[in-house]
Structure 1
Amino acid sequence: MYERKTKEQPSISPPPVGTVGVTRPPTDVRIGDFILLDGQYQRVQDMRSAGTSAHRVLHFARRTPLIMREARTTYRPLERR
């Protein structure tokens, strides 16, 4: 059946306050960064290498770990000087 397209973008919740989003490779992700997963921003609590330096296993508080194999947008808190 034909599905009519709307001009509205699917709603994505705004990023955490005080963060800036940048596309980063797995090697540049830090503990404390936020990643959008399943419609919610999850904070990286811990991470491990996944066999190679190009992959990371990211651990979150209330979610299963994520194997990050390619660059994706992460939200990092702004640094105060």
Structure 2
Amino acid sequence: MYERRARELPYIPPPPVGTVGLTRWPTDVRVGDFILVDGKYQRVRDMRTVGATSARVLIFTGRDPLIRQDAWTTYRPLEYR
């Protein structure tokens, strides 16, 4: 029998214009990439290494830092040459 969802899926806004999304490890993240945090895309302003080389502290403008050590989707601006 079909059961209704208890809660609706969270709304995911469209990615920033001119970016390409790809699943990346923390070592592949660059300053300027966008990450979806709390329903909004935040641009990485700076980052630091924590303990193990695979963990990073991502620093954003107007938000607390975020520690990540697993792969997640980041959106990188297209580069024109």
Task: Tell me the TM-score normalised to structure 2 length.
Answer: 0.89
Q: Work out whether residues 11 and 39 of structure 2, in 8 Å CA contact, stay in contact via their aligned partners in 1.
A: no
Q: How does 1:59-78 map to 2 (within 5 A)?
A: 59-78=59-78
User: What secondary structure, in the 3-state scheme, does the structure 2 residue paired with 1:53 have?
Assistant: coil
Q: Could you tell me how far apart the structure 1 residues matched to 2:80 and 2:43 are?
A: 19
Structure 2: which amino acid aligns with 1:34? F
Query: How far has the Cα of 1:43 moved from its partner?
Result: 0.2
Structure 2 unmatched ranges of 5 or more: none
Superposition RMSD in Å: 1.7
Deviations 1:21-72 (A, max 9, x none): 0000000000000000000000000000011210000000011000011000
Structure with the higher strand share, 1 or 2: 2
Structure 1 unmatched ranges of 5 or more: none
Residue in structure 2 matched with residue 16 of structure 1 by the alignment: 16
Query: How far has the Cα of 1:10 moved from its partner?
Result: 3.7
Count the aligned residue pairs: 78
Task: Tell me the TM-score normalised to structure 1 length.
Answer: 0.89
